[in-house]
């Protein structure tokens, strides 16, 4: 018998306790391997409109809802007895009459039957009430056939026709996901996206494959249920699929705000490479080791345990792969200086050269952002470097004076046999630029906005000279590590092959709207490519974020602990919760909040077996992660933006960059939240927090 896993099952599974989840998984394994086992207790759900819905007993109170036909068994939902039955009574599973995709459809008459007028008012489900005359109908230009063409069930067409901007988000939660997304795109752009082409087998329809997974064996079911929160990796929206499946004539960049699926597209692009080129050797890289480990897990989920595919992919951070290639080509280990060591060398060099009139902050910044970033090795090269964006203009004599400092820094590093990260990248770049044979056939970069000059040169050098060798995914609005520079100036031209994703799949409309207030509506990079964040929409509605400016730490701790306890009470598991702070100095406040909420937690250094607990860490570690509930705390004045970082700036340009990246850091942390967000500080709070607080009012 064919076994099918619905995403509604994995989503409902996460809401159970750990023990309940384990019992439900064991029953699911039995249903797959022994569906006719006598001990399984099937009960038809008499009140369900769909006669193929059955319940299966897990424990005294937990029931799995299955959709059982002659040739297949679908795991559709799991919950406590009464709630599981109510779910089934309000739904049917069918192929859409136009698109052909399999859908789980809410029964329209049952929604009206169950939802009282008072409850409807309380939850803003106003779609069954004619809109006020003054409220414009956002789909009035669409005919019923057009609405039906994007997957709206027939009994919901009338609700779509009379939807207003205010009522649509309540309505969207009752529609199949592809239908809601298509209507959201139309509301944002005025263009109704074309439906996916029809297929003979409804189970092979792209929209079906987003929600349902045909399982080949018990191992695949186990892998899917062990990581239900990451199930989104398996499903690809048709609009994203267009980017994945195209052939390109050069490097490609996929942009979009947080939660729009850039990483999903990158991972699916890798799978396409592996399936179309059996001999492919792919590098999947990003800026940090923890994020690389997260990508490795997601790629494994997407590959469905096919090690023959994932063994062809190397997943590593920029620096880690540079260190490995250095060791491979030299037989030695690269020793890399940390920032404090470089700072001391710069100060020592200035003292020895008798150079005065330049602050230590300026000297370190000039070294990091100009000399080392562009690998300047001589006075002539330093005299000619354009110093893009630097406000402090330097004449020839000033540069000659400064080179006395920087040449001593280079010599000090050589004497100590130390690389800077930039020098390490440059060494490997020089090695592979001269080689025709490259270590990889394709390179896919996640969080590409945090590539520096040296890293981008390095990746270009180890990539083969073919059109589709480089694929970048990133968001300029989430750049928190690097100063901007011209990709085009380094020979990486993505003009005409840059795509911006507009539909947010991860973060609720309320959280996205609040976080977007931290950033400009449009962000233009150095090469003139523009990321237009206008028109981005989220696919689901949620709870308004909480912003608290407390009088003292005790008040902040109580407010944050109340937020966390409420999440736990509503069934959110500890592993789906995170608490972030700006820097390590604020970690004790975060730990105190977790303890006050009786929340089991781990820090970034905790061993992996503790990953069932919540994460407590600094904002920089939030990149690439996601949680159902996030608390961003200790956002005080002097903490965000960080006073010591502001004090380190050398000129006005750097100050602007610091403020921008500190804003972007808060944006990154806030957009890790899917359903619930709490942001707090002690008054006088961060200027960013105060701004958000006023806007929320």
Smallest Cα–Cα separation from 251: which of 482, 433, 454, 442? 442
CA distance 574 to 570: 11
584 touches 618 (CB < 8 A) = yes
Q: Which residue has the tokens 């981008």?
A: 456
Instruction: Please tell me whether residue 571 adopts helix, strand or coil conformation.
Output: coil
Q: Average of pLDDT values for 247-268?
A: 89
- Report domain extents, the chain: 2-209, 252-301+310-330+439-506, 339-418, 543-696
Q: Is the pLDDT of residue 624 over 70?
A: yes
pLDDT digits (tens, 9 = 90+) for 104-146: 999 987 665 433 333 333 333 334 444 445 578 889 999 999 9
Most confident of 550-554, 621-625, 683-687: 550-554
Q: What is the 3 state secondary structure string of 231-251?
A: HHHHCCCHHHHHHHHCCCCCC
Is it true that domain 252-301+310-330+439-506 has CATH number 3.50.50.60? no
The CATH number of the structural domain formed by 2-209 is: 3.30.2310.20
Higher-scoring residue by pLDDT: 281, 239 = 281
Q: Is the pLDDT of residue 176 over 70?
A: yes
423 touches 372 (CB < 8 A) = yes
β-pairing verdict for 470-473 and 252-256: parallel
Instruction: Phi first, then psi: give them for residue 691, nearest 5 degrees.
Output: -65, -45
The burial of 127, by beta-carbon neighbours within 10 Å (0-12 exposed, 13-18 middle, 19 or more buried), is given as buried
CA distance 578 to 590: 10
Q: Average of pLDDT values for 573-591?
A: 94
Banded model confidence at residue 14, pLDDT cuts 50, 70, 90 = confident
What does the pLDDT read at residue 233?
Answer: 52
CA distance 150 to 169: 17
Class of the CATH-defined domain 543-696: alpha beta
Smallest Cα–Cα separation from 181: which of 211, 142, 151? 151
Tell me the C-alpha to C-alpha distance, in Å, between residue 109 and each of 66, 112, 147, 159, 367: 22, 5, 19, 12, 68
Element (H, E) at 442: strand 442-446
CA distance 78 to 15: 9
635 touches 589 (CB < 8 A) = no
Which parts of 512-559 are beta strand (E)?
Answer: 522-524, 530-532, 537-538, 546-550
Q: What is the mean pLDDT of the chain?
A: 84
pLDDT digits (tens, 9 = 90+) for 65-103: 999 988 889 999 999 999 999 999 999 999 999 999 999
pLDDT digits (tens, 9 = 90+) for 331-341: 999 999 998 99
Same fold yes or no, 252-301+310-330+439-506 and 543-696: yes
């Amino acid at each position: 018998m064919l076994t099918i896993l619905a995403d509604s099952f994995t989503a409902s599974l996460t809401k159970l306790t750990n023990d309940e989840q384990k019992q439900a998984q064991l029953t699911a394994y039995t249903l797959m391997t022994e569906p006719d086992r006598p001990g399984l207790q099937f009960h038809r759900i008499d009140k369900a409109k769909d006669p193929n819905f059955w319940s299966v007993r897990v424990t005294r109170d937990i029931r799995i809802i299955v959709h059982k036909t002659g040739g297949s068994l679908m795991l559709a939902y799991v919950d406590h007895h009464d709630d599981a039955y109510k779910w089934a009574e309000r739904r049917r599973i069918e192929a859409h009459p136009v698109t052909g995709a399999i859908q789980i459809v809410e029964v329209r008459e049952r929604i009206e039957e169950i939802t009282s007028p008072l409850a409807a008012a309380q939850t803003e489900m106003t779609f069954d009430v004619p809109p006020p005359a003054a409220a414009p109908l956002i789909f009035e230009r669409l005919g019923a056939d057009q609405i039906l063409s994007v997957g709206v069930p027939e009994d919901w067409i009338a609700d779509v026709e009379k939807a207003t901007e205010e009522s649509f988000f309540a309505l969207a939660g009752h529609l199949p996901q592809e239908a809601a997304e298509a209507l959201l795109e139309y509301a944002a752009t005025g263009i109704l996206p074309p439906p996916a082409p029809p297929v003979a087998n409804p189970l092979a329809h792209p929209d079906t494959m987003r929600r349902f997974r045909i399982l080949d064996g018990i191992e695949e079911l186990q892998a899917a249920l062990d990581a239900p929160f990451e199930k989104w990796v398996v499903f690809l929206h048709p609009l994203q699929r267009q980017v994945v499946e195209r052939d390109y004539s050069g490097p490609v960049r996929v942009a979009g705000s947080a939660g729009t699926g850039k990483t999903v597209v990158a991972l699916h692009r890798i799978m396409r490479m592996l399936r179309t080129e059996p001999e492919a050797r792919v590098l999947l890289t990003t800026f940090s080791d923890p994020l690389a480990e997260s990508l490795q897990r997601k790629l494994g989920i997407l590959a469905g345990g096919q090690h023959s595919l994932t063994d062809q992919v190397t997943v590593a951070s920029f620096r880690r792969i540079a260190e490995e290639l250095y060791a491979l080509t030299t037989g030695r280990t690269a020793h890399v200086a940390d920032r404090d060591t470089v700072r001391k060398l710069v100060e020592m060099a200035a003292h020895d050269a008798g150079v005065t009139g330049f602050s230590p902050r300026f000297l370190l910044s000039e070294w990091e952002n100009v000399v080392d970033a562009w690998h300047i090795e001589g006075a002539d090269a330093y005299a000619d470097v354009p110093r893009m964006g630097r406000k402090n203009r330097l004449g020839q004599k000033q540069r000659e004076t400064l080179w006395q400092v920087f040449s001593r820094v280079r010599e000090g590093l050589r004497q100590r046999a130390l690389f800077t990260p930039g020098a390490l990248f440059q060494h490997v770049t020089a090695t592979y630029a001269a080689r025709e044979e490259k270590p990889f056939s394709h390179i896919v970069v996640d969080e590409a906005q945090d590539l520096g000059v040296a890293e981008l040169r390095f990746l270009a050098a180890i990539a083969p000279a073919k059109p589709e060798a480089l694929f970048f995914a990133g968001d300029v609005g989430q750049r928190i590590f690097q100063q901007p520079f011209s990709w085009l100036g380094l020979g990486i031209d993505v003009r005409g092959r840059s795509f911006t994703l507009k539909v947010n799949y991860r973060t609720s409309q309320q959280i996205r709207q609040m976080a977007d207030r931290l950033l400009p509506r449009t962000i233009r990079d150095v090469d003139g490519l523009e990321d237009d964040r206008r028109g981005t929409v989220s696919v689901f509605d949620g709870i308004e974020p909480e912003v608290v400016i407390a009088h003292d730490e005790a008040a902040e701790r109580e407010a944050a602990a109340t937020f966390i306890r409420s999440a736990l009470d509503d069934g959110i598991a500890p592993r789906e919760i995170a608490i972030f702070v700006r820097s390590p100095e604020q970690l004790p406040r975060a730990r105190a909040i977790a303890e006050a909420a009786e929340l089991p937690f781990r820090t970034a250094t905790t061993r992996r077996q503790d990953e069932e607990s919540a994460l407590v860490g600094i904002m920089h570690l939030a990149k690439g992660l996601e949680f159902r509930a996030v608390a961003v705390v200790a956002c005080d004045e002097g903490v965000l933006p960080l006073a010591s970082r502001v004090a380190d700036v050398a000129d006005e340009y750097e100050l602007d960059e610091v403020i921008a990246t500190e804003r972007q850091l808060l944006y990154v942390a806030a957009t890790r939240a899917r359903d619930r967000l709490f942001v707090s500080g002690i008054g006088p709070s961060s200027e960013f927090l105060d701004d958000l607080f006023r806007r929320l009012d």
